[in-house]
Amino acid sequence: MVEEATVKRSARVTRQRILDAATLRFSQHSYDETTLRDIATDVGVDVALVHRAFGSKEELFEQAVKSTIDGDFQQAAQAADPGLAMTSHFVQSRLSPASGRADPLNILVHSLNSHRANPILRELVQQDFIQPLAARLPEGELGAALAIACLAGVALLRDVLGIAALRMADDEEIRPIVAKLMRACLGPTAEPDAHGVRPPQ
Amino acid sequence: MVEEATVKRSARVTRQRILDAATLRFSQHSYDETTLRDIATDVGVDVALVHRAFGSKEELFEQAVKSTIDGDFQQAAQAADPGLAMTSHFVQSRLSPASGRADPLNILVHSLNSHRANPILRELVQQDFIQPLAARLPEGELGAALAIACLAGVALLRDVLGIAALRMADDEEIRPIVAKLMRACLGPTAEPDAHGVRPPQ
DNA sequence: CAGCATCGGTCAACGTTCGTTGATCTCGAT
DNA sequence: ATCGAGATCAACGAACGTTGACCGATGCTG
């Protein structure tokens, strides 16, 4: 109330509010089920404005995806032990808080099978998930892709399908298994610890 | 021309042809992208007939899902070493042949985020994937759910997203890693073999 | 063999929803 | 007061699942 009076009609601000609303919607619903009219209602503007602000629904979706990419995951991928860092990042950022928050993985698992969203999400996974992870691996992209596949699969069954066993499970119950999954995919980069366990093959 | 004279108009046969065409479509495309008109064209009948033969699109989808459930997976889940059996079943039935064949996992990963298909697929995963697997596990449903999540994730990134690293990979390159994933989720139920490896926790 | 009821199948259309677009209004700075 | 940009309004065109009315062959009945 003290600051900015009535917010001044600003395309810049409105565009951002639309993008935020769209990002949240796309993190909770699929591309096909998310309507420009829904987003417009959230923001409190007309449908036409939502459309014109980004040119097309597809463009809006792409911008929404990009807006959720922060450095957190890339940092985790380049940690000393990527598997462990990614596990922590995964468990802390997805399981503990509400699962509906704006997040690239949430958007990914909610719109995987819309053919409009497909190429955009493929590039997201390739560029922002697999590549930063594969850069530090001897196995190349295969291990990285499999690691991402595991995380995406868990998120899918938990948040999209709503499998009870995954919704109810405690974070610390899932963490060690996810850690094992990451290790299986990324290789035992670090942690040649006290056990000295080597995989059979 | 010599064989079967115009096949005699039979609802039984036509219904089966519709179901087969629908099953194949649903194994390659999402619920939303699959049109009753597409299925009708495949079979060579009218749209109305496709609809009336099953009452609704949703019912047709449910029947298509059920028609793909064979005993193969359940057999694998109840093998001496479920992880190993499931790995073989997964690698052989999905990676080697064309990925577009009629298969419950294919249907699952293609229609996960349609809210119409969602409850049907949730029940499929719960009843036909998780439960037969969890019945033999000390960890209960959690381990089974995570194992299914891994397989679904790999299938998703490979066949729906089309991640190159997974499409190009040789079967025998993926198999050992998938085997490790299964072992991480299901625990070393069998195979207390020469290695005697115990998980750290 | 003729008539008829029935079932498999088609045809045309409805009602809804969606992304999209052109014309129009309205606020705000100059 | 004016002009442009922000925002709205109304509508289009396409696509979908769904429905009621209508054909045509099949097979039973007399």
Q: What is the CATH number of the domain that holds B18?
A: 1.10.10
Q: Tell me: do A172 and A77 sit in the same domain.
A: yes
**Predicted structure pTM score:** 0.90
Residue nearest to nucleotide C9 (CA to C1'): B49
Nucleotide nearest to B14 (CA to C1'): C8
**pLDDT at residue A193, as a whole number:** 44
Q: Estimate in Å the CA B149 to C1' C20 gap, whole number.
A: 39
Q: Tell me: do B178 and B115 sit in the same domain.
A: yes
**pLDDT at residue A157, as a whole number:** 97
Contact A105, A152 (CB under 8 A): yes
Query: Residue B191 falls within a domain, yes or no?
Result: no
Q: Which of A124-128, A195-199, B109-113 has the lowest mean pLDDT?
A: A195-199
Mean pLDDT of B20-39: 98
Q: Tell me: do B93 and B148 sit in the same domain.
A: yes
Q: Tell me: do A128 and A179 sit in the same domain.
A: yes
Q: For residue range A155-181, what is the model confidence (pLDDT) as tens digits? A: 999 999 999 999 999 889 999 999 999
| Positions 21-80 in A, CB within 7 angstroms of strand C | 34-37, 47-48, 51-52, 56-58
**pLDDT at residue B138, as a whole number:** 75
CB < 7 A contacts with chain D (nucleic strand)? A 9-11, 14, 44-49, 52; B 6, 8-9, 34-37, 47-48, 51-52, 56-58
**pLDDT at residue A195, as a whole number:** 42
Q: For residue range A66-77, what is the model confidence (pLDDT) as tens digits? A: 999 988 888 898
Q: Tell me: do A123 and A160 sit in the same domain.
A: yes
Question: Which residue, of A67, A83, A105, is where some domain finishes?
Answer: A67
Mean pLDDT of B85-98: 84
Residue A156's domain comprises: 72-186
**pLDDT at residue A7, as a whole number:** 56
**pLDDT at residue B17, as a whole number:** 98
Q: Which of A130-134, B60-64, B92-96 has the lowest mean pLDDT?
A: B92-96
Q: Where residue A62 falls among pLDDT bands split at 50, 70, 90?
A: very high
Q: Tell me: do B99 and B16 sit in the same domain.
A: no
Query: Residue B153 falls within a domain, yes or no?
Result: yes
Q: Which CATH number characterizes residue A31's domain?
A: 1.10.10.60
Q: Tell me: do B47 and B106 sit in the same domain.
A: no
Buried-state track B104-117, b at ≥16 Cβ within 10 A, e below 16: bbbbbbbbbbbeeb
Q: Where residue B167 falls among pLDDT bands split at 50, 70, 90?
A: very high
User: Rounded to a whole number, what is the largest CA-CA distance in chain B?
Assistant: 69
The count of structural domains within chain B is 2
Residues 63-122 of A with CB under 8 A from B: 109-115, 118, 121-122
Query: Residue B115 falls within a domain, yes or no?
Result: yes
- Taking alpha carbons only, the member of B15, B21, B55 closest to residue B35 is B21
Q: Tell me: do B85 and B28 sit in the same domain.
A: no
Chain A residue whose CA is closest to B141: A165
B174 touches chain A (CB under 8 A): yes
Query: Residue A200 falls within a domain, yes or no?
Result: no
